[in-house]
Every structure is written in structure tokens, then in C-alpha cells.
Amino acid sequence: MKAFILTLRILAAAFIAVSALHFFMGPGADAILGAPITQAMLADPSIDNQNRFYGVTFSLLGVALLVSATDLRRYRPIINATLGVLLMAGVARIVSWGIHGAPSPAIIGILCADIILPPVLYVWLKQTLRDTSQ
């Protein structure tokens, strides 16, 4: 159980760190991931506004996992919902890829994590809770 809780806390910290990066850097955070962000895009108030907004709302994934790590049984529905949202975000990346083409290699790596981590964590949580109830 401790390993699972530690994993949730590490993921939560990563989500919150990425959120903070977007808060402070706006679209410049995407440039770090290899997105071709132009100076015009960096200077566009709407793009900057949207990027910072969605970047900060991304922290909700981290907060949900951080709170959920305090009591896995009680917050199991929240963990499952959080994993479901993360999985659907990965699916959204695939849709974007299909419409606009391949993103940068770093974003492809993140996409893989978005698709692989939720089912793995779902099964691990289920096993962890089953093992602790016996």
C-alpha cells in the first residue's frame, strides 16, 4: 500500500509542478516540450490567457491524487475519476494527432503516459485494496 501511496504523491507533485510551470511561463512552458511557439503566439493575450488557465486547472489532477492518497478506500471513487480524466486527456491527444499531425517527441512520451498510467494504476489500486482487506 505504501508504494501505491508514494506513487500517487509523486504523480500529484508532478502535476502540480507542471501546473506551476504553466502559471509562470504561459505558452513558454509548451516551448520547453518542443512545441513550435512563435514570438507572436507568446505575445498573444488570448493564447497566454488560455494556456495559463488550463495549465493551472491541470493542478486539479494533482490535488485530487494528493487528497486521495490520505485514505485510499474513502477516496477510491475520486482516484478512479481522476484516472478516467487523465485517460480521456490522453485520448484527446490522439484525436489532436489525427487531426493536426504528430506532436513533438516529448509530448508523444507524455501521451504514452496518459494512456498507460491510468489502467495500470486502476489495477494496482484494486489489487492494493483487495490485499489490505484480507
**Confidence class for position 133, pLDDT limits 50, 70, 90:** confident
State the Cα–Cα distance between residues 2 and 45, nearest whole angstrom: 44
**Is pLDDT of 134 > 80?**
no
Q: What does the pLDDT look like over 95-106, one tens digit per residue?
A: 999 999 999 999
State the Cα–Cα distance between residues 122 and 129, nearest whole angstrom: 11
CB 29 within 8 A of CB 58: no
CB 11 within 8 A of CB 86: no
State the Cα–Cα distance between residues 102 and 96, nearest whole angstrom: 8
Q: What does the pLDDT look like over 41-60, one tens digit per residue?
A: 999 999 999 999 999 999 99
